[in-house]
Amino acid sequence: RTFHGNTRLLTSQIISHYVSINQCKKELPEYFNFASDVLDEWARLEKDGKRAAIPAFWWVNEEGEEVKWSFQELGSLSRKAANVLAEACGLQRGDRVVAVLPRVPEWWLLNVACIRSGIVFIPGTSQLTAKDISYRLQASKAKCIITSDSLAPAVESVLPDSQFLKSKLLVGQGSRAGWLNLKELL
């Protein structure tokens, strides 16, 4: 079957694939990373013309503003974001990041970047209170917090109690003292 001109797996094909893995007819990879094993492969197929260039990511806000990324663009941007997390924020595989963000494109970009680099992404809704944020930072021992310029004041109110926090990353146009800006670093 096709959907927008692309061949898609039917549910029966997907179930068949998993059944064959369970019956040891297909080998499971020792290590699996969704970003590099799936997204990068689809980007390669897209680049080679073996996969239609459809959006891997398509975001539209209430004002009608759109962001569309192909698989190649999502792969490239997520590698850059992973480098920001590793180099500018000093994070390593296994470190934890708390993201208190509305669902802006950067939320998904950072999620993929964390998957790519083995960093644990801990999402938090923009409706969290200062007490909620403080609890999540302490319980997770997060080394980085990511938020928007509009939510930063609530986050900053609990930062003195965050003994594990090493870096603060801001998503948006604004700037704040002591914060790194994702857009500038990308």
Contacts 24+ apart (CB under 8 A), 133-141: 133/98, 133/100, 133/158, 134/158, 134/161, 134/162, 136/98, 137/98, 137/161, 137/162, 137/164, 137/165, 138/162, 138/163, 138/164, 140/96, 140/98, 141/96
Contact 49, 81 (CB under 8 A): no
**pLDDT means over runs of 10, the chain (186 residues):** 46 59 67 87 90 90 94 96 97 97 95 97 92 94 95 90 92 90 95
Burial class (CB in 10 A: 0-12, 13-18, 19+), 27: exposed
Domain 34-184 adopts which CATH fold?
A: Rossmann fold (3.40.50)
Domain boundaries, the chain: 34-184
**Taking CA 169 as the corner, what is the angle to CA 150 and CA 175, rounded to the nearest 5 degrees?**
55
Tell me the C-alpha distance between 114 and 35, whole Å: 9
| pLDDT tens-digit readout, 131-179 | 999 999 999 999 999 999 989 998 999 988 888 999 999 998 888 999 9
pLDDT of residue 15: 59
Question: What span, in angstroms and rounded, lies between the C-alpha atoms of 84 and 35?
Answer: 16
By percentage, how much of the chain surpasses pLDDT 70?
84
Q: Is 0.85 surpassed by the pTM of this model?
A: no
- DSSP calls for 69-120: E-HHHHHHHHHHHHHIIIIIS---TT-EEEEE--S-HHHHHHHHHHHHHTPE
Structure tokens at 65: 């503003």
Q: What is the C-alpha separation between 110 and 182, in angstroms, rounded?
A: 10
**180 within 8 A of 89, measured Cβ to Cβ:** yes
